[in-house]
Structure 1
Amino acid sequence: MRSDYLSSGPGFAEGEVIERIEAFRRRRPRLRDELVTLAHGAGGKSSAALVDAVFVEAFRNEALEELGDGAVLALPSGERLALSTDSFVVQPLRFPGGSIGHLAVHGTVNDLACSGAVPRWLSAAFVLEEGFPVAELKEIVADMAAAAAAAGVQIVTGDTKVVPRGAADGLFVTTAGVGVIPAGRTFPAVRTGDRLILSGTMGDHGTAVMLARGDLAIEADVDSDTAAVSDLVETLLAAAPGTRWLRDPTRGGVGTTCNELAQATGLGVVLDEAALPVRPVVNGACEMLGIDPLHVANEGKVVAVVGPDEVDDGLAAMRAHPLGRDAVVVGEITEQPGSTVVLRTAFGGTRIVDMLVGDPLPRIC
């Protein structure tokens, strides 16, 4: 499932390239399906179409329409909170580098952090299949407790449901979180000339989970990157307080996250293929599977848009943090082609990076 391709090399006149880009840009995800499929949960085009046509249409309000990692809510006192929620259905439940328990904490903590909040409290709801081993449940809950303590959050409420054997895939976990946005913290509008920083290597989590399933006949030493990025975000914002935009590139990967940025701003995102950090073992596994690392999930990374006057300070601060030691500038914001992500290839051409199409991956978050 490679990204749609557009060549700007030999064989295409400049005007034709621009025309093809404009035609591509006008293609918006639309819900055409009558039944829900696994592709609707993959974090790509089908997910966006389902969210727009069903949930945003039904619940439409100003906070929801931002479609951020979390909703930013203003209290009558003038204080602001961020609220986020997520469900976790990964298989296997335990994989190299983590478990569904780690993901359930890290996923919501990271959404709050990328909304500009300091995460404080979580709720946790469990759907258990009849026959699930209590000893395994205790281990997963212990993982959650350890992850929450390390992230500086408390799990303060929750719920448990048990369904008949065969009605669930062992264990599903849903977490919701609340964070406090520091007074005066704002994110200025994204502008042309801004730079994109990626905090580390792409695709580690998705690749680790795919290989852990054991049905791909590939052996490789890959650990998930699952981690709470809240302290990394605070480190970046201290060094680059004018940071424009933050996201953790989970389902759909960096490619889909950059498309969300382009569509939200109407600006272009130009990525440099040579700068994109991918571990050789991850790149090799993706090549064998025919998957673009740009579309493989991460669970401990941040994409940040930083102004050119602060990018050096922000990059240095991230590299000084354990979770950001491999941080690199991977692209820039341009006026054209608007609402589109373009990759400058190592061969001197360009190709459009679309949102993830279909469901090429097993459930990974």
Structure 2
Amino acid sequence: MTLAGARTWDALVIGAGPAGARAAQQLSAAGASTLLLEKQSLPRYKACGGGVPARTLLLLDDLDIAPVSEGHVDTIDVSRFGQPQFRKKSERPLAWMVMRDRFDQFLTDLAAESGASVRDATTVQSIVEEDAFYEVETSTGAVRARHVLAADGATGPTARWLGIDSAPTRSAAYEVEVAAPRAALDHWHRAANVDVGYRPWGYGWVFPKEGKLSVGVVTAPRRGRTIRQQTDRYLSRLGLTDADVLHVQGHPIRYRRSIREPVARGRALLLGDAAGLADEFTAEGIAYAVHSANLAADAVLISDDPSAIYADAVNQHIQPELDAARTISRLYYWCITTWPRLALKTSKHVNYLWQAFFRVMRGESTYAEEMSILPFSRPITRTLSGYA
């Protein structure tokens, strides 16, 4: 590794997704010299439903994402194996629809405007900690940095190189982007489909975009071998078998289930999916990615040894939500697989549960706050502790 004359950066951020781009923007805006690396050429396609929960915009300081938005969703359409059950509507938008290539580029451009240097088509090949610096070999040359923020996703190698045993893979997702006929686009206007009944747990989804639909399935990793067939059946039930396929991609999802699963070591921090910061009820990760980026930037800016500060912040501000989401997930999927008709009937008629979920998605409440008024949930969850 040749570092003679190499610039020393205050922070090296690996991965230009929402977590990495946001962290780079926050750090550079505060005056820290920041280098943001992305292994692919930007903009790049990213497998993702593309639903940005409304609460995410609060974490982005009420950022106006209209330039890259493809509409919003305020209605949830529930089906079981493709058979419609009921619809529930929120008073205000629940999520904004985006294509991740445009959304991630939008956030990356904000980082660059704040002073961050951005290098795409650059692969990190190794990371070595030397005294007060990290020496990083990349496909475009060697880099030295005081801090490393790993935002390279659930399959990124940075955590392993840094010696951080991050959260294991606990679900698999498969997504198809299709050019949908006008009738389908009109049907799903401002509405997302949630298709339930998958065993041992999981769901199918439809998110509307401009001229197309994002359709996918998320389920247990041991079902990963059949997830493409499940998605094909789901497309058939939706009447989209003959729709033109624009993109197809699968990916794993990690879930952090304990404060014992590390998110930092020394001056290296894991953000977003790299740390397993995803919601086990919805499998959503963008809001947690942005939240972790804010916490990581704050920790780096106030300490030369930010790992304890960052880990404490994640454990205090994010992990309680992940724990509550896991509780809700276990209760819901146990009910929907054990008593499907009763669970759907109850879900349809107990409107409070939907309003609680809507409040969480809009950023007006949290899972933990909503769970606090349901004291029976904890003993039931302990009973179901082996169900996953």
| TM-score interval, normalised by the smaller of the two chains | under 0.3
| Structure (1/2) with the larger strand percentage | 2
| TM-score, length basis structure 1 | 0.25
Which one scores higher on RCO, CA 8 angstroms, separation ≥ 6? 1
